[in-house]
Homo-oligomer: A and B are copies of this chain.
């Protein structure tokens, strides 16, 4: 039950979960493994796969760590043999990081067994949970996902011809969901379309579902279309059957941060390739906030696409001057800033020849808490950088996310109640510019009303009647370790 392995330690913006599901092939668990493997960037804390076995039961295995560590080949072949599978990689947004919270959740209810995998965050989970506890229900995990199964098991829901839409209508917040039943898989997406979820088809013709299309590429499958906001797609032996569980809200709320930071550059999200969007963000940034410099340089790896765009637009040469250490493991808890700077230095190497004596435009995807960024700036200075012009390919993050991103608390955000000027001073850079909100939204395909910009604008489209809900589980009185 210990946490066996090193993780990439970007603690400031914790990544969300990744989902994958496939129906109708004896290779289900292997495809699921590969689909999760390709989405490992969406969560490295735990991984799980559930399958429908030959007897119509559901078997699952979850473990702490990377996909490649959690599933030995023998397990995929034997314990997880079956013709349908769903899987999950996770970085906890609610629920502490415990194995008992690892997904897919497996539960037994009156209709038999079910497995559920969830990406997102339910803002009314605590409320629903309290309500169900009053009705005599008991809970084991501390994840918001558990409430979904309670809703599913509700007799009044089960009386309906098609209970699932009734269940989903009760959920508020962000949810891309995969359900695995013995006879079918159901892929659902909240009406706001906050998190991505796509439908694909393997070379052999089986339907599959993934958070990101890079998972399809990994298994040689083809992207078919997105699961629509408010849609349920049922996949079973007879094929796919789409239905809506809710009338669409007047507008959607696609998470722009998926494009800015989370998703794989090679994935297609909300109708656009991530790399292409990031490059456009960089171009726009070059127009909004030019600077005189010798080079445009990315903060690797997430700033690379935007930096390329910035360089192309500005005509200033693109250069690589920072080499990240690919083998970064868990770091010690470091008591003071001097040591924290040193820890950052261990994790990236500056190429002195490139940096020394140069005026640099450094392109970073975002700045959250600011301390890590400052350590990086100091490392560049130490290597001789003459000027650092930091350009950030999104606006200042000033508000918490209730839909699935685990930013630090508001007061820890560097942009909280600080002007750009003050932030520049804190980061010890010669100049600092953020991309404007409109500039950012202008790079996106849909009308700007289609997106959620809450972390930048404070405009929470999905009503947060219980803004405390995100943290309510922290008052949890149950701890297993």
CB of A5 within 8 A of CB of B138, answer no
User: Is A79 interfacial (CB 8 A cutoff)?
Assistant: yes
Which residues on B sit within 8 Å (CB–CB) of A59?
A: 478-481
Q: Which of A190-198, A342-350, A395-403 contacts B (4 or more CB under 8 A)?
A: A342-350
Instruction: Knowing A59-B480, A332-B73, A349-B264, say if A110 contacts B133 (CB, 8 Å).
Output: yes
Which residues on B sit within 8 Å (CB–CB) of A152?
A: 138
Interface residues of A in 317-334 (CB under 8 A from B): 317-320, 323, 325-330, 332
Which residues on B sit within 8 Å (CB–CB) of A219?
A: 342, 345
Q: Quick one: which of A138, A214, A477 has the most chain B CB within 10 A?
A: A138
CB of A4 within 8 A of CB of B6, answer no
CB of B273 within 8 A of CB of A353, answer yes
Which residues on B sit within 8 Å (CB–CB) of A149?
A: 138
User: Is A170 interfacial (CB 8 A cutoff)?
Assistant: no
Q: Which of A63-71, A363-371, A451-459, A463-471 contacts B (4 or more CB under 8 A)?
A: A63-71
CB of B266 within 8 A of CB of A38, answer no
CB of A133 within 8 A of CB of B107, answer no
CB of B266 within 8 A of CB of A477, answer no
CB of A349 within 8 A of CB of B69, answer no
CB of A329 within 8 A of CB of B69, answer yes
Which residues on B sit within 8 Å (CB–CB) of A265?
A: 320, 323, 349, 351
Interface residues of A in 240-263 (CB under 8 A from B): none
Which residues on B sit within 8 Å (CB–CB) of A73?
A: 332
User: Is A61 interfacial (CB 8 A cutoff)?
Assistant: yes
CB of B110 within 8 A of CB of A478, answer no
User: Is A438 interfacial (CB 8 A cutoff)?
Assistant: no
User: Is A448 interfacial (CB 8 A cutoff)?
Assistant: no
Q: Which residue of B lies closest to A318 (CB)?
A: B318
Which residues on B sit within 8 Å (CB–CB) of A99?
A: 1
CB of A346 within 8 A of CB of B106, answer no
Instruction: Knowing A113-B478, A155-B135, A330-B68, say if A108 contacts B140 (CB, 8 Å).
Output: yes
CB of A266 within 8 A of CB of B34, answer no
Which residues on B sit within 8 Å (CB–CB) of A217?
A: 345, 349-350, 352, 383
CB of B304 within 8 A of CB of A320, answer yes
Q: How far is the CA of A328 from the CA of B66 in the complex (A)?
A: 9
Which residues on B sit within 8 Å (CB–CB) of A266?
A: 323, 349-352
Q: How far is the CA of A155 from the CA of B134 in the complex (A)?
A: 7
Instruction: Knowing A275-B320, A301-B326, say if A182 contacts B477 (CB, 8 Å).
Output: yes
> 5 new A-B pairs (CB below 8 Å) besides A67-B329, A108-B476, A109-B133?
A58-B478, A68-B327, A113-B478, A273-B353, A275-B353
A-B contact pairs, 24 of them (CB 8 A): A5-B6, A37-B346, A40-B326, A59-B478, A59-B480, A62-B480, A68-B329, A68-B330, A108-B133, A137-B137, A137-B153, A138-B149, A138-B153, A140-B140, A214-B349, A217-B349, A219-B342, A265-B323, A265-B351, A266-B323, A273-B352, A275-B354, A301-B326, A312-B317
List the 4 closest pairs (A to B, CB-CB), nearest first. A68-B329, A266-B349, A57-B477, A110-B133
